Chain A
Amino acid sequence: MAENWRGECSNPNAKTLVPGKQDDSSKKNKKKKETGSQFEFCTVCNLNHDQGQRHKYFPSHKKSLSACLSRFESKLADVRFFLRNPAALRPEHASRNRFWCIFCDVDVEELGSSFACSNAINHLSSVDHLKSLKHFMWKYGGGMDRLDSFRILDADVTKWRKKCATLKKEAALSEDRCHGPLSGLSNDIHREPNIGIVDHFEDNYTVYPLKSSILNGVTPLQYNTNEQQILYPEIAGGPNAGSLPTKLVSSNASLHSADDSNGVEGNVHSGAAPPWLDSSEHSLVDYNIKSFSVNVASHSNKLEKSRKLNPKRVGAAWAEKRKIEMELEKRGEIAKKECDSGWLPNFGRVWQSGSRKESRREFEMEKQTLLKKETESEISKEIQPYISKRIACFAGVRYLTLWIRVLLESGDIALSLMESSSNMVVVPPALIDERIRAAVLAGRGEILFCVMLARNTVQAKGEVLHAGGRVGEEVLMAILRSLMIDRHARINTRAVAVCPAPAAAAAWAKFGRKKMAMGGQR
């Protein structure tokens, strides 16, 4: 099944793109027809494929190939460095110098060489390597123009050999002066020439003659390992030789000497630098130097990276800003800002779709409409002079329609009355008699009271009371008060008070609001 699927995927020209619809036998036939090749292993992609010659043009393969080649190139970069600056190879570091040549499928080790990467250089310049390189590029489609970046040219090799020869001669010369085992220049490839260290070495110049004398005089038993013996010949030769590798050596020596636990060389009296200072330099040197052990470098990189927080994390910019603010607040430079009461965090609401900013805006709008509603309900309704036509045609009498908005409990009667028309004051007949009439008589104005029984029928059961002139404020208030007090009267809750004169209008308004506060909401 898997094979069939792969067969489908790799062949965009297949007639059916949906796997599993055809039966296996026909698929296999198709596969054989289309590809016709057996499975082979691609070292670059590290997988088996049956795509034959087409495989090297696929984008995934190209990606893996470029990654592979760039990795190899970086390894070669180290080798090239030593090609330009040959340095002696110390045996214990030989294990770090080996690498795997992907073209030749061979491990290139530095076993018997005296110089760093000499085996590697020799290998990379050899004819065999070139052959296998060409074959690799052809097989995996690397691009024949890049061949030279993966091998070392003969001219370079000869130059390098010359340099090595000169180095050897110098080493031999320097060794003649002192008695000591010949080891060539036991430069550690890890000790890169560093100007700082050279200066340090010059400061310690005075140390060396002392050391050589010690060497000649006292016992070599103080030196634990071979390396010490190797070093000291170079120390003596150090100040004299001006070449790069000896500087390296001497710096190396100074470091090592300082590191020694026995106080013979490098103690307070000899004026050597204290071991902790040197050891820190030592570690600095290690970091600065390119080494074949790429693992170490990458591992240290990883550590540094994980300590930093991911800059792509949520709210990173805000967090950085806030951290700085808090730092400054702590130090007292900025006064602690109380965030304004309107600040809201970035929140995506439940019933809103769209971005979070939009939902916040919608919330702000909602808040405002809520506020408006609350304030509006406090203000009484519009008060305007209105004379209804229906009423006006009533027996030619000039009516002043009173509109009262009263918030009381609505009874059934009142409701039905309400429905018909809202421009009548509904006053129960009983009430009209006593208090209201008296109030009207006391004041001045024309008021019509009537009772509406049913839709659109007006039963003028009330009386037309003329008090003459304008409706007095107190009168109106008295009327309304009387209406309100008697709750059993079941007064229409939706009647509206209308006044012609602005003064009276204010009175109505005031009254209406008061009622609002007292009666509460329906």
Chain B
Amino acid sequence: MSYVLTTLTKKREVDSVIRDTIDKVLVLRFGRASDAECMQLDDILAKSAREVSKFATVALVDIDSEDVQVYVKYFDITLTPSSVFFFNAHHMKMDCGTADHTKWIGAFRRKQDFIDVVEANYRGAMKGKLIVNCPLPPERIPRYQLLYKDM
């Protein structure tokens, strides 16, 4: 559990965070705080939250809470931890060379990776782009397999 970052358990809270973050990238991490990879991600987020605070906000969402299941289904979250990026209540997609462009799955290797990703999102959003390219080299991007839901 990260004590530095706000953890959200209700849909209403998530809504208010999304709507109140204006002109800043919002990073919503969906995951379980007890999971090892999630803990790693939380650590990186907590450390770099202050550094990106001028152009980004970070919030954690607990996947296990029932209120948030709507969002879990809406965002098609199946692998944890997943981070979804928003800008001005619009969802920012990022092409990392993986199957799923709508979110970032997994943890980041280093703080700088996270900062680079958020910066890329911010720059693209400021230019008016809804999808941005990932600045990280492929070896630093966590790989996963995405199967169709009924399989």
**Contact, CB under 8 Å: A345 / B91:** yes
Contact digits for B96-117, partner A, Cβ 8 Å, 1 yes 0 no: 0000101000000000000000
Interface string of A346-374 (1 = CB under 8 A from B): 11111100001000000100110000000
Which of the candidate stretches B14-22, B43-51, B133-141 sits at the interface with the other chain? B14-22
The B-contacting residues of A in range 110-152, CB under 8 angstroms, are none
Give residues 317-353 of A contacting B (CB, 8 Å). Answer: 318-319, 322-323, 326, 338-339, 341, 343-351
* A314–B22 CB distance below 8 A: no
Q: Are A318 and B102 in contact (CB under 8 A)?
A: no
Min CB gap A371→B, angstroms: 12
- Within 8 Å by CB of B15, from A315, A339, A347, A348, lies A339
Contact call B19/A347, Cβ cutoff below 8 A: no
Q: A345-B86, A350-B76, A356-B91 are in contact. Are A313 and B127 (CB under 8 A)?
A: yes
Taking the closest CB of chain A, its distance from the CB of B25, in whole angstroms, is 10
Known: A318-B89, A350-B102. A312 touches B127 (CB 8 A): yes
| A318 touching B90, Cβ below 8 Å | yes
Chain B residues, CB < 8 A from A319: 22-23, 88
Complex: chain B residue closest to A325, CB-CB: B19
Is A303 close to B, CB under 8 A?
Answer: no
Interface string of B10-52 (1 = CB under 8 A from A): 0110011011101100000000000000000000000000000
The answer for the CA separation of A322 and B89 in the assembled complex, in Å, is 10
- Chain A residues near B84 (CB-CB < 8 A): 347
Contact present for B75 and A349 (CB under 8 Å): yes
User: Is A310 located at the chain interface by the 8 A CB criterion?
Assistant: yes
Query: Could you tell me if B102 and A322 are in contact, using CB atoms closer than 8 angstroms?
Result: no
- Let me know if A309 is at the binding interface, CB within 8 A: yes
Q: Is the CB–CB distance between A341 and B11 below 8 Å?
A: yes
B74 contacts A by Cβ under 8 Å: yes
- Whether B130 contacts A314 by the Cβ 8 Å rule is yes
Q: Are B102 and A349 in contact (CB under 8 A)?
A: yes
Q: Would you call A350 and B127 a contact (CB within 8 A)?
A: no
Q: How many A-B residue pairs have CB under 8 A?
A: 90
Query: A312, B128: Cβ atoms under 8 Å?
Result: yes
Q: A346 to B90, Cβ gap below 8 A? A: yes
Contact between chains at A341 and B149 (CB < 8 Å)? no
- A315-B89, A351-B149 given as contacts; is B76 within 8 A of A339 (CB)? no
> When the two chains form their complex, are residues B92 and A314 in contact, meaning their CB atoms are under 8 A apart?
yes
Q: How far is the CA of A339 from the CA of B87 in the complex (A)?
A: 18
B71 (CB) vs chain A CBs: closest residue: A344
Asked whether any CB of chain B lies closer than 8 Å to the CB of A296, the reply is: no
A210 within 8 A of B: no
Which of the listed residues A315, A316, A339, A367 has the most CB atoms from chain B within 10 Å of its own CB? A315
Docked complex Cα distance between A82 and B15 (Å): 61
A347, B74: Cβ atoms closer than 8 Å: yes
Selected contact of B91 from candidates A312, A338, A348, CB within 8 Å: A348
| Chain A contacts for B89, CB-based, 8 A | 315, 318, 322, 345-346
B18→A323 contact, CB < 8 A? no
Across the interface, B76 reaches (CB within 8 A) one of A313, A343, A344, A351, namely: A351
Asked, given contacts A323-B22, A348-B93, A350-B76, whether A313 binds B125 with beta carbons under 8 Å apart, the answer is: yes
Does B148 touch A at the CB level, under 8 Å? Answer: yes
Q: A326-B20, A339-B19, A343-B15 are in contact. Are A314 and B90 (CB under 8 A)?
A: yes
Asked if residues B20 and A338 are in contact (CB atoms below 8 Å), the reply is no
Evaluate contact between B129 and A314: CB separation under 8 angstroms. Answer: yes
Residues on B with beta carbons closer than 8 Å to the beta carbon of A347: 74-75, 84, 91, 102
Does A316 lie within 8 Å of B73, measured CB to CB?
A: no
Greatest chain B CB density within 10 A among A314, A339, A349 is at A314
In the assembled complex, which residues on chain A have CB atoms less than 8 Å from the CB atom of B70?
Answer: 344, 367
Q: Kindly report which residue of chain B lies nearest to residue A356, judged by CB atoms.
A: B91
Chain B residue contacts of A315, Cβ below 8 A:
87-90, 125
Would A344 and B74 count as touching, CB distance under 8 A?
yes
Q: A363–B73 Cα gap in the complex (Å)?
A: 9
Is B4 among interface residues, defined by CB-CB distance under 8 A? no
Contacts of A309 in B (CB 8 A): 23, 126
Name the A residues within 8 Å of B20 (CB-CB): 322, 326
Q: How far is the CA of A19 from the CA of B38 in the complex (A)?
A: 53
Task: Please give the residue numbers on chain B whose beta carbons come within 8 Å of chain A beta carbons, in ascending order.
Answer: 11-12, 15-16, 18-20, 22-23, 70, 73-76, 84, 86-93, 100, 102, 124-130, 146, 148-149
16 contacts between A and B (CB under 8 A): A309-B23, A312-B128, A313-B125, A313-B126, A314-B88, A314-B129, A318-B88, A318-B90, A319-B88, A322-B19, A339-B12, A344-B74, A346-B90, A346-B91, A351-B76, A363-B73
Chain A interface residues (CB < 8 Å from chain B) = 309-310, 312-316, 318-319, 322-323, 326, 338-339, 341, 343-351, 356, 363, 366-367
